[in-house]
Every structure is written in C-alpha cells, then in structure tokens.
Structure 1
C-alpha cells in the first residue's frame, strides 16, 4: 500500500503551490517571535524613587537627606520604596521614614513609559510585572489544551484564523486598558491565540507539504520567521520607548493576515482521515493546477492505506487516545518530559538575557540573532541526521554550558554571558527539533492533539519562567545549575525514542514505531512494550 507522501508525489517538489504554503504559514508565526517576550520591555522597571514633597522634578542625582540609604546586592543605594517623613515645617525629618504615599518618580532615560510606570507596579506591587508574563503563559496553557482538540475535530484552517483573530483583537483592546487588571486579563487571550496559531500553523504545514519541503518548513520556514519576529522586538523597542506605541506597532500588521484565508487551504491529509475524500482530492487538484499539472485522475484509490471512519472519529475527539496503547503512552511520557525541560530552558534563558551583563537591547538582539544561525544548522543537520541523536547532543551541550557557569569567577561576567548564549542556542536547537520530532512520531489522527498536549505540559512550567530572570539577579548561579541538570537528564531520555528520519508519517496509532530500549532497560516497567504496541508498518 502507498503512503500519503507517495500519493501526493505527483505534485512534485517546490512548485508554486509549495512555495505559497511555505511563506504564507511561515509569515503567520512572526508575532509569535515577540509576543512571549514582549514584557521584557513593556514591563521593565526604570529607576525610581518616592515622589518628594509631591513633586516629580527632583533630580535623581540630588537625593541626599531626602531618601534613606539601603544595601542591595552588597552596594549602598537610595531607597526605592521609602522616604524620610516630612515634619510640620515642610522639612525632611532625617530619621523617621514612611512609604511612598505621594507615588513615585520614574527615570525617563531608557523609557518614556512602561506598564510599570503606567500603574506604579513597584515596591509591594512589583510582583505584578512578572505575573503579567505568567498570565500570558496561562493563556498559552489553555490555548494548548483547546486548540489541538478543536483542530483535530473541526479542521486546521478555522482554528488557525480564529486564533489569529483572538490574538490581534486582544492586542488592540490592550491599548485601551484602564487598569493593570484589564491589561492582564486581555494578555491571557493574547497568549491563548498566540500558541493556538503557532501549533496549528505548524501542523498544517507538516501535513500539507511533502517530505522534502517539510524539513525546510520546520526549520528555515516557521522557526526562521519566529526568529525574525524575535529580532524585531529589541529593534522596535529601542526605537519606540512608549509602551502603547510599541504595542500598536507590533499589533497593527496582523490585519494583513486576513488575506491569507483565500490562499491557505485545509489539510487534505486531515480531510481524508475524516472520510472527506472528495474535498481532499479537490484541494490537491487545485494544487496540481498551480504547479502546472493539468491532467490529474483519481488520487485516492484502493492502493492507498485506508482509515476506518469509526476509528477516525474516535481519534479526533479523545485525548485518552494518546495513552491508548503501551507504545504511544511511553512516547507521550518521554515527549512530555523533553518539552517541559526545553521550555524551562528556552524561556528561562530568553527572559534572563536582558538582566545579564551589558546593554539589554544588545543582549536581546544577540540572543534573537543567534537563533537564525541555530535554525540554519538544525536544517542542515536534520536532513541527514537521526532526530533523537541530534536532539540529545544539543541538550547535553546546553546543559554542560550552564553547569560550567558555576566555575566562572564573578568578575568574568562577559564569560558568563557567552556561556548563557551558547546554552540558549543549544536549547533553541533542541526545542526546534522536538517540534518536528513530535509531529513525526504521532499519527495523523491524533497529531495536533499530541503536539498540543506536549505543549500543555511545557506551558505549565512556562508560567513560572518569568521568575527565573528574577532568580538570576538574586540567586546567582542556582537557576543555571537547575536548568543545566534538567537538560542533561532530558538529553539522555531522548535516546529512548524511536527514529523517524526517512520514515513516512504514520496515519494511525497502530503504525507508530516502538520506543528504543536496550536489553537492560527493557527490564524496567516503563519501557516494557506489550503486544498492543506498534504493528508492522504498512507502506
């Protein structure tokens, strides 16, 4: 029997149709590159002190006898949350202190305004800054939960454009926020739409494009455009120092995505698994005409591997299908662990880069630009290299670099920054591969749900990632030790997964390959595969 890739081979490689899908879906993820890290600049806290004598014109360089001194990180600095009390003669007492009852004065040296200056998110309210990013990731968590099931049940295309609509609408409404609570609530919906659009665009491209285009789309396409969005963040943040104007500049271009509704089709592969053979053939015939192929007969004939409609319906609706057999359960558990650790490493290090030694704009730009190089390397490697070996190497490299930081003297902060950048590049590469790897491991009937549930696990840990950047400031090397150890563990675990390189995508759960366990490891119950594991491949 023929596989789906063999059935659509008549379309050829890299025709007009493939290039259109490649660039259309890749462009959709540009906002994903900056939305998750937007609060690095939108919620940054400028230098500040209590408003003195109800005036905002007090110089930051002339605060003697007006503000008490405090010790922070071994250095003496003016208090940011208290001031000397003013006596009846309008003079500073010099001994008694009080909280900032008249508000704060913020430095405008770096920012004209941020959400911190907008709503005074400092001192006893300083938890609200990182919590805003956490709310975004809570939205990402909910989006991961619902988008996979909705996409597998109702189709990739409607979920994709519905998610874009939610993301952009919430972004525009944030500009009119009257309070931090309103802004934060809307940021939840930005996160929900953000991850839903990314996951669905990724799966849609994987299913529409052929084998050769699929690898390029997963690296040079969707990931490269993600990096472009990431690069835009520090550049635009440097040029636009007002948070509302920056947010408007980043949100306004999303209106252009409306035109893509008439360009991006539904997944023919998904349509066929739903028993909608005629619709799938109609899309493929349109694709053939775009590629200059005029004579196309019946596409899905009796030699194509068939899917039981009853089984298809069941698999499009239940997350329990991800643990329906011993083999898919083992694959799911391992992937969940890898996704969780990759997410901690990627976002933990990305959010921490502005807090490292040097200019925050330059650090963020270098961190973003390095991803371009990483994606090119990943694309070159996975074309001819085993997936599980490559992902293991990058995770082990990243973990080793982060663990090495504890041996670097505190005076060599530049070396620490370099090691963090190398570690971040390694986990970026691993994160890129795990998306591709997961989509190849799961069969079509549960692919979007499989990738979605992996994203769910990773987003649970992501909710706490904004606080890692604060831990880096106050706890030194401890967060690097934790992240480095986790990455080394996940790199070793990834070697248990089956290889998907040069293998056709499985259509049903029974076509999945069994996990790779050595003779010794097979004795462990976790790796024991019973008779219900993958049946022989039918290609």
Structure 2
C-alpha cells in the first residue's frame, strides 16, 4: 500500500477537500463538452447555388427566378444544381433566351446563400461542394490538437505538477477559444482549434489525475464519473446554446469566455488544490495478528511543507515498455482507448446524418450519457473493471454493426440505435479512464494515461476522415466503427482486475519500501515509533 493510500484511509476517502476538488471540475468539463462538438452546429445545412450575377450585365431587369432558369442546370429531381452552373458567354440576352446555354462548369464566382440565414462557418468560408471536406478536416485538426496535448501535457504534468498544467491549459483554452471568434480565414480557424484541442487534453488528464490520486479507492469511480456526467450536461447545454445563438462567432464566445472565471478563481486561491491536513490518531492493527494500539499520524499543514527523506525517481515513457506486465497493460489499454474513441466520435460526429433534428439528437446524445456515466459507477462496483470494460466495448460495436443494416428511410430507428450505441460507448469510455488510472503506477500514471489518450486522439483524428468513405457506400463508416471495438473489447480480457486495490507508487513489482520496512520490523520484533509522513508518496516507520 502506498503512503498516500494510508493517509487517505486515515483522514477519509472523500472528505471536504476531495469534494471541493470534484466540484472544481464542473466548469472545465462543461467547457470541454462545448469545444468537442460545437463545430457540428457551426456548419448547418444551408441551401446554396453558384453565383451567376454575370448575366446581370446583359439583363439587369431579370427576376431572380429568370436568372436562375437561364444560368443553372437542374438535377434529376428538377432542383437547381448546387455545385455547377452554365459557363458564361458574351452573347446578348435575346440570344441567351433563344438558344439557351449548354456547357456547364463548377462554380467560378462563389456561391449565393439565403439572406435570412445567420452567419455560419459554412456561409462565411464557403464549406460547400469541393470545399465541404474542410469541415471534417477541421474536426480532424482539432483532434490532432488533442493528440499533441496528450503527448505534451501528460509527461509534463508528472514533472512539474498538476496545478501548473491545469492553469496553463485553462488559460490557453480561454484565450484561443475566444480568439476563434475573431479569425478572418478558415485556416487560421483550424490552427486556433488545434491549440484549443491541446488545452482540452491538458484539462481532462489533469482532472483525472487529481481525482485518482487524492480520492480513496471506494470513492474514486464516483469522483471520476461525476466529472464525466458534467461533460454530458455540457453536451445538453451545447444543444440549447446553439439553438438559441445561430451566429457562430457569438456562439464561440458564449462557450469559451466562462472558462476565465475558473482560471481567476484558481489564481485567487492558492489553497484550492492543496489539502489541509490536521494531526490525528490512527488506530491500526499490524496486519499480522498483533495489536499496536493507536499511532499518532503527524501530518504537515500543507503539501508544500512535506519533507522527502528520499527522492522517488520519476518515470518515463520507456518504463511503460521495460517490464512485461506494464508493456501488456500499455498496449492493450492503448488499443482499448483507440477503438473506444473511434466508436464514440464516429457516433457523436455523425449527429447531422441520422435524419432527425440535429438539436434534439444532440440533446438526446447528451442526456443518455448521464445514466451511462452514473450506471457505470455501479457496474464498476458490482462487476469490476475488466468485465465492465469488455462487455461495454463489445456492445457498442455490435450496435453500430446493426445500424449498417437499417434502411435510410428509417431515421427514427437509426437514431434510437445510435443513442444506445452512444450510451454503451460513453459508459465504456468512463470505465477506461478509471481502469487506466488504476493500472499505471503513480510515477508514470500521467505518462501512461497520456499515451492511452494519445491513441484515443489518433482515433479522433481518423474518425472524421472515415466518414468521408460514405461517398463510396453509406455502410462503410459504421461497419468500421462497429467492428473495431469488438476486437478491442476481447483484448481487454487479458488485463488484470484492479477493483478494490490500492494504487501502485513505483514500477517495481511487490511491496513498496515502506511496507517492506514495516513488515520486517514486526517480524523481527522491533518496536514501532510514531508514524511520520515525509512525502506524498512514501511512508517511513
């Protein structure tokens, strides 16, 4: 058992400090949900057609309908083509009306949109026709930011601490989130979104580490999954916010600016992430059938006053692959996070294509995550981490495979199945966070979780691009989203169970030095002096 584990058992698994810590994660989780999915509502479907104002030079008195009839071809259903036009000619108006135009070309002078439509990414940056792929590419660039954030902030958090990283991440998210609303070009928009994505990774990983390390075994799943429930609530708020604010720039500001309140509240209180310990007497047994009575646990007032007697060597990425048991955990959990992210974002980013109202679908997707996250708490307690992870991953994949066989004219059935898939994928993702944090030792926990998060972000980058395969057959993307989590779930059978176990401090197998010292003294009949904690990771007797 680690020293922190002993302290938490003595002072309480979920006391006032831990409750404040969980409450603190609410605002960042709401903000993270906004940035994850806000772009879906900034690129609404808008009727459009090529700009053919060239004909006004020879026919200034033409009505709009006459102009379109003369300059735009029609598709098989009789509607005007959205991405092609008749090639401009140097004829007079009478010749154009008499002979008509036959040669077509792509839109060469831009597009025309309904004047009543509020500004959106689609209308401002012409994300239509040959440029419509930029929508999915921009989403992949944001996911690339998540990947870079995992690669940077994970190891950095293990070296300089959790608090500096969460402050840096929150500041970057607020600064570049508001900055997105002011960008003049779409490529600048994508660059800023990439930075916001990196900050999101820094926030989510740090919140996970804090909830894992400062909260006891029995309350750890509840703390982690409470923040996930806040993420689900954030998705529901996004549905309402985007429904009420149709101007994409105002929507971006409304979703980004509130994070500054969190940043300044942390800055103004140095004790927010610092526990206040008080001296107490801890009645303990020795675990060997001997009664020691009460031990006086002398704890400093703040974490800064803890004096390490020995320095614990910090871990590195290589440590994850040096030992066989850590190597297996790293590879399998990375695979699990990859496939989980693939199916989660495959469903979430496809919200516009299920056939029902996008705002209602997003509301349902957010609402279903709350029982998924809450139910996951009980599943983890009843069935353990491994069984829960395996079953939920397999179920989420099977639902996606079933969707591939549903006809396009059944949007309600498709949406219901997608919602069920979102339920299982969300619960599985929550399980992955708890499971991974418990599998990796403290000295490389953020590095290990960061590596898993990196694999998840690779899946996030790939997921929007997989959606482009629907041009060849509509079932291809969902078949990929469905088959991969089934394989990943089966691989998780090889992982160890961590339910009810204390966190490991170091990468070595077996007992920690503190436990070895204690048991050695007891076995040899040595006296046990007062227990004093010198660091947040090691207990010396």
Range into which the TM-score falls when normalised by the shorter chain: 0.7 to 0.9
When residues 309 and 255 of structure 1 are mapped into structure 2, their CA distance, relative to the original with a 3 A threshold, is: same
Q: What residue in structure 2 maps to residue 391 of structure 1?
A: 389
SS at match of 1:94: coil
**Residue in structure 2 matching 1:432, options 427, 430, 433:** 430
In the alignment, structure 1 residue 484 sits paired with structure 2 residue 482: yes
Using the alignment, how far apart are the partners of 1:434 and 1:61 within structure 2?
60
Contact 1:5 1:210 in 2 (8 A): yes
Contact 1:355 1:473 in 2 (8 A): no
SS at match of 2:86: strand
- In structure 2, the gaps of 5 or more residues are 57-61, 281-294, 301-306, 512-541
Using the alignment, how far apart are the partners of 2:269 and 2:9 within structure 1?
21
When residues 407 and 463 of structure 1 are mapped into structure 2, their CA distance, relative to the original with a 3 A threshold, is: closer
Task: Give 1:63 shift.
Answer: 4.2
Contact 1:224 1:372 in 2 (8 A): yes
SS at match of 2:103: strand
SS at match of 1:98: strand
Q: What residue in structure 2 maps to residue 325 of structure 1?
A: 323
Q: What residue in structure 2 maps to residue 298 of structure 1?
A: 298
SS at match of 1:487: helix
TM-score by length of 1: 0.82
When residues 267 and 68 of structure 1 are mapped into structure 2, their CA distance, relative to the original with a 3 A threshold, is: same
Contact 1:382 1:390 in 2 (8 A): yes
Structural mapping, 1:372-521, within 5 Å: 372-472=370-470, 475-511=473-509
SS at match of 2:193: helix
Q: What residue in structure 1 maps to residue 526 of structure 2?
A: none
Task: Give 1:508 shift.
Answer: 1.0
In the alignment, structure 1 residue 223 sits paired with structure 2 residue 215: no
**Residue in structure 2 matching 1:244, options 238, 249, 253:** 249
Deviation readout 1:215-273 (Å, 9 max, x if unpaired):
11111x210111111111121111111100100110111110120245575878xxxxx
In the alignment, structure 1 residue 166 sits paired with structure 2 residue 168: no
In the alignment, structure 1 residue 100 sits paired with structure 2 residue 102: no
**Residue in structure 2 matching 1:85, options 84, 87, 90:** 87
Whichever of the two has the greater Rg, that structure is 2
When residues 451 and 118 of structure 1 are mapped into structure 2, their CA distance, relative to the original with a 3 A threshold, is: same
Task: Give 1:186 shift.
Answer: 1.0
Contact 2:145 2:195 in 1 (8 A): yes
When residues 369 and 452 of structure 1 are mapped into structure 2, their CA distance, relative to the original with a 3 A threshold, is: same
Deviation readout 1:324-347 (Å, 9 max, x if unpaired):
201100110001110110010001
Q: What residue in structure 1 maps to residue 368 of structure 2?
A: 370
Using the alignment, how far apart are the partners of 2:417 and 2:131 within structure 1?
33
Task: Give 1:451 shift.
Answer: 0.4
Structural mapping, 1:136-215, within 5 Å: 136-215=142-221
Contact 1:25 1:205 in 2 (8 A): no
Deviation readout 1:482-531 (Å, 9 max, x if unpaired):
22111111111111100010101111112489xxxxxxxxxxxxxxxxxx
When residues 266 and 308 of structure 1 are mapped into structure 2, their CA distance, relative to the original with a 3 A threshold, is: farther
Using the alignment, how far apart are the partners of 2:496 and 2:462 within structure 1?
31
Deviation readout 1:306-328 (Å, 9 max, x if unpaired):
99956x3341xx21111120110
Q: What residue in structure 2 maps to residue 516 of structure 1?
A: none
When residues 232 and 266 of structure 1 are mapped into structure 2, their CA distance, relative to the original with a 3 A threshold, is: closer
Q: What residue in structure 2 maps to residue 347 of structure 1?
A: 345
Contact 2:266 2:272 in 1 (8 A): no
When residues 58 and 367 of structure 1 are mapped into structure 2, their CA distance, relative to the original with a 3 A threshold, is: farther
SS at match of 2:318: helix
SS at match of 1:285: coil
Q: What residue in structure 1 maps to residue 524 of structure 2?
A: none
Using the alignment, how far apart are the partners of 1:60 and 1:405 within structure 2?
41
Task: Give 1:373 shift.
Answer: 1.5
- In structure 1, the gaps of 5 or more residues are 269-282, 289-294, 301-305, 514-539
Task: Give 1:59 shift.
Answer: 6.3
C-alpha RMSD of matched pairs (Å): 2.8
Q: What residue in structure 2 maps to residue 134 of structure 1?
A: 140
Query: Comparing 199-208 with 78-87, which one deviates more in the overlay?
Result: 78-87
Using the alignment, how far apart are the partners of 1:287 and 1:400 within structure 2?
54
Q: What residue in structure 2 maps to residue 303 of structure 1?
A: none
Query: Comparing 474-483 with 150-159, which one deviates more in the overlay?
Result: 474-483
Structural mapping, 1:14-53, within 5 Å: 14-53=14-53
TM-score by length of 2: 0.82
